[in-house]
Structure 1
Amino acid sequence: MHRRSFIFLFLIALLAIGASYVVFWPNASSKPLYGINNPFVAREGLDLQGGVSVLLVPRPGQDVSPAAMQAARNQIEQRINGGLSVNEPDIRIQYSNSQPRIAVQLPGLNNGNQQEAIETLLKTGKLAFWDTGHDRIPEGTTLKPQNYAQYNQGVQPLFTGKDLDVSSLGIGQDSQTNAYQINFAMKGDAVGRFSKFTANHIGEDLTITLDGGVIESAAINSQIPGSGRITGSFTYTQAQRIVEVLKYGALPIAFSIQSEQTVSPTLGQDSINKTLVAGALGLGVVILFMFLYYRLPGFLADISLVLYAIFTFAVFKLIGVTLTLPGIAGFILSIGMAVDANVLIFERLKEELREGRSLSQAIDMGWARAWPSIRDSNCSTLITCAVLYFFGNNFSATIIVGFATTLFLGVLISMFTAILVTRTFLKLLVTTGLFRHPGLFGLPVDAMNAASS
């Protein structure tokens, strides 16, 4: 038993060191410490760091049914989350004079080249492969399909983005020129059709367009067996944007920007500082109370509480949780859950000590009797978080999503610290044989049997 406790202590120490590295070590944007960078950063929401607000309206002459608008909204959300790496965006369908539009708020895009990122959202993402005979069309120009109807299926392209294998899309570089290129591969029956077409049209020009604009037009030099590359005069960022658009699908509706504005943090730096001070004061009061009321176990719980805060914030940075004010509130609330578990354990521990049991027995029985209450209360909170997350995701209430996410993670980690960390510390007390005085556990001298454990 003692050996297992020391093993757990060693694992806790390793976790604490790793979590401290993630939380406290300078990140990649700061000056490296001893030449080592920490790539993990805390992501802030729109209310903490500001961002960009864009209003998108459908272009005239399109199907703007509710189903089409919802599909477009979902595609935009996928592009933002997967391509632009913007966490917790706010994307909503709104109506003005019965006309639908999509309002998009993007945290953190108020710095740098935001216009190119926004234009990525507007691309309908329709990739097309055309046979243009022996005509090489300049890049950046608009292809007129009717001029090459004799080489294609009328005004229909030979291949489209639907024929691409999404998992094959990637960015490479030409080994000789170092120019960036987009690697692709066909899927299904398009593999054979593409191979057969290129074998039968060697010497002719194959032109690739994205939303009607030419991104490459080059001669077919040999048979291409189902995979190839798109080369053009684009930068790495431009190639990345094209891959993002192709990977997350075409928009069913073409949009234009009605308005675009930079959004300042809704709270302001002063409110953020006050929130952090309030959180620190709350944590300090809890630590002080646990120490004064529970004495030695309370001191061990305080150590566990500090480790809990470090573990939780490290997880937030590792998985990229976006911190908003509601999210921070969920984190602070989970501190109460962590203390609640310790309170249940310590009260049961004191009861067992009053019954005259040894410290070792009191720890085992106290934890065993407190566990059902800890399990049930935390499970009910986790279920509530899951419900909040579901409704927040389905009704575009990102504020609720942030709160539910941080509270859910905080409760899980609080259970870990209460069950493993605090219990391990208490078990190690037994091995020392030094801490048996009733006053160390907040009990009168005659209320505890000091029998040897």
Structure 2
Amino acid sequence: MRRGTLTLLFFIILLTLGASYVVFWPNAGANEKPLYGINNPFTIHEGLDLKGGIQVLLVPKAGQDTSDENMDAARIRIEQRVNGGLGVNEPTIRIQRTNGEPSISVELPGFSGNQQEAIQNLLKTGTLEFWNTGQTSVPEGTTLNPSDYAQYNPGGKALFTGNDLDPSSLKVGQDPQTGSYLIEFAMKGDAIGRLSKFTASNIGSYFTITLDKSVISSPVIQSQLPGSGQITGRFTLTQAQQLVNVLKYGALPISFTIASQQSIGPTLGQDSINKSMIAGAIGLGVVILFMLLYYRLPGFLADIALVLYSIFTFAIFKMIPVTLTLPGIAGFVLSIGMAVDANILIFERMKEELRDGRLLASAIDIGWKRAWPSIRDSNIATMITCAVLYGFGTNFGATIIVGFATTLFLGVVISMFTAITVTRTFLNLLVPTGVINHPALFGLPAGSLASATLARRNSTV
């Protein structure tokens, strides 16, 4: 047996065990105990079209600085708001360009809460400001005009902003007497002393708090505040939590409007998953049957490698993780058929060498070397196509293409590994077994190998 074959076989076995754990070991639910105390941390990340949820396209308002820096900062803020307050698993928030104009695509798979409230929460610029409105209590929900209170606020600017808050201090509280919800806050840096000094000298004045110039609270200053305080208002628990979430992660550098909004039900997604699984099983079964009938023993080894390819690929999808969409599943199913292309090229070359009287070991080596340029070039061409599709989908708003390109690209890369390493290792295991004496096992006519071998012996005598 060739040097290194057993080492490669051992490596393939370890890889298979690890991938099988990722794919098949059950994930413990919230109230479930892990199987044998071992939990599988890798889960399937389903996209919006499979899991259901909402998709929103946010477009910057006209006349704003939509530089890459500002757009990326806005994307990060929106992502933090989603992760911190909406309870959505695997959200997808990406910057994309449509006709050269930037926008932000927000996909919230599995989100089933108040959609309009959640979207409005994302749209809030999040600029919190504290104003001195003298003896005037400004009604909640109205828009504050700073020029009306310029005499109390030097330069017509807010006395304090959200940047003066300590993010770690923000939390939802409850009034022990009325049971109403409120927001607790504390200042940071020099704002602590400024707040204490201001409230001490303005007892009896109204301290109006606005979010994006909309009044959320206008309480009267009753005593000196020691660098901290409470924002009271007619909040529900959800509204208070969302407000804390907005304030905690800072203001958006850009204001957005909703360009499109789409809701997808989970029923459609489950039906798509079921049909995709059937399509994948049929595709895999047809390819396995063809390889077994036409290439016999090498085809059987290729079928084993194809099953391993499916396990390896799905394990990679869960580990990265790849967000599976319906086009992404289509790319995976397509890659199953493409995964045997390299095997077919190698086997055909190998059969030619066997007909010429080569020993099995030589036929494997020469067949692989002669097939490699075609395998390399075809797979590189496919990967380039995937890169172009991915770039097009990312930059021009065609996000449906991104999942297809991603899964197909990964499938091609993994298929090269299984064809070149796994199948070839299996073939090398056959060399010392003497199967070369049975041409039918290689899909060749009876006697073809014997006559070729005899001819070669006669030529060497």
Distance 1:416 1:171 in 2: 52
Pairwise CA distance, 1:290: 0.9
Pairwise CA distance, 1:249: 5.5
Pairwise CA distance, 1:333: 1.2
- The answer for the alignment partner of 1:64 in structure 2 is 62
Pairwise CA distance, 1:24: 1.5
Pairwise CA distance, 1:351: 2.1
- The answer for the alignment partner of 1:14 in structure 2 is 14
Distance 1:420 1:231 in 2: 65
1:13-412 alignment to 2 at 5 Å?
13-29=13-29, 31=32, 32-52=34-54, 64-65=62-63, 78=76, 83-84=82-83, 85-88=89-92, 106-112=107-113, 117-127=118-128, 154-156=156-158, 161=163, 195=189, 198=192, 211=212, 242=244, 247=249, 250-253=252-255, 255=257, 262-264=263-265, 267=268, 269-412=270-413
Pairwise CA distance, 1:42: 1.9
Pairwise CA distance, 1:393: 0.9
String of CA shifts for 1:392-451, please: whole Å, max 9, x gaps: 111111111111111111111111211221122222333x43432332222233335499
The amino acid that maps onto 1:10 is: F
Cα distance change, pair 236–424 in 1 and its aligned pair in 2 (3 A): farther
Cα distance change, pair 297–197 in 1 and its aligned pair in 2 (3 A): same
Distance 1:173 1:22 in 2: 38
- Contact 1:131–1:152, Cα closer than 8 Å, also in 2: no
Pairwise CA distance, 1:155: 1.3
Cα distance change, pair 261–196 in 1 and its aligned pair in 2 (3 A): closer
- Contact 2:283–2:336, Cα closer than 8 Å, also in 1: no
Pairwise CA distance, 1:281: 0.9
Structure 1 unmatched ranges of 5 or more = 95-99, 175-180, 186-193, 223-228
Pairwise CA distance, 1:211: 3.9
3-state DSSP of counterpart to 2:435? coil
- The answer for the alignment partner of 2:202 in structure 1 is none
String of CA shifts for 1:59-104, please: whole Å, max 9, x gaps: xxxx53597699998777555656445445799999xxxxx9x997
Distance 2:186 2:410 in 1: 38
- The answer for the alignment partner of 1:417 in structure 2 is 418
Cα distance change, pair 270–306 in 1 and its aligned pair in 2 (3 A): same
- Contact 1:26–1:38, Cα closer than 8 Å, also in 2: yes
The amino acid that maps onto 2:50 is: L
Pairwise CA distance, 1:356: 2.3
The amino acid that maps onto 2:275 is: K
3-state DSSP of counterpart to 2:436? coil
- Contact 2:171–2:244, Cα closer than 8 Å, also in 1: no
- Contact 1:337–1:411, Cα closer than 8 Å, also in 2: yes
Distance 1:253 1:159 in 2: 18
The amino acid that maps onto 2:62 is: V
Cα distance change, pair 73–392 in 1 and its aligned pair in 2 (3 A): same
String of CA shifts for 1:24-51, please: whole Å, max 9, x gaps: 2222437432343323222223332322
What is the TM-score of this pair, normalised by structure 1? 0.71
The amino acid that maps onto 1:250 is: L
Moved more, 272-281 or 376-385: 272-281
- Contact 1:357–1:449, Cα closer than 8 Å, also in 2: yes
RMSD across aligned C-alpha pairs, in angstroms?
A: 5.0
Pairwise CA distance, 1:343: 0.9
- Contact 1:64–1:253, Cα closer than 8 Å, also in 2: no
Distance 1:415 1:396 in 2: 31
Distance 2:343 2:354 in 1: 16
3-state DSSP of counterpart to 2:26? coil
- Contact 1:331–1:410, Cα closer than 8 Å, also in 2: yes
Moved more, 245-254 or 351-360: 245-254
What is the TM-score of this pair, normalised by structure 2? 0.70
Distance 1:253 1:375 in 2: 48
Structure 2 unmatched ranges of 5 or more = 84-88, 173-182, 200-206
String of CA shifts for 1:132-181, please: whole Å, max 9, x gaps: 79x9x9xx9999777697676641455654x99xxx9779999xxxxxx9
3-state DSSP of counterpart to 2:107? strand
Report which of the two structures shows the higher radius of gyration computed on alpha carbons. 2
Distance 1:329 1:171 in 2: 48
Cα distance change, pair 374–37 in 1 and its aligned pair in 2 (3 A): same
Distance 2:371 2:269 in 1: 43
Distance 1:419 1:248 in 2: 51
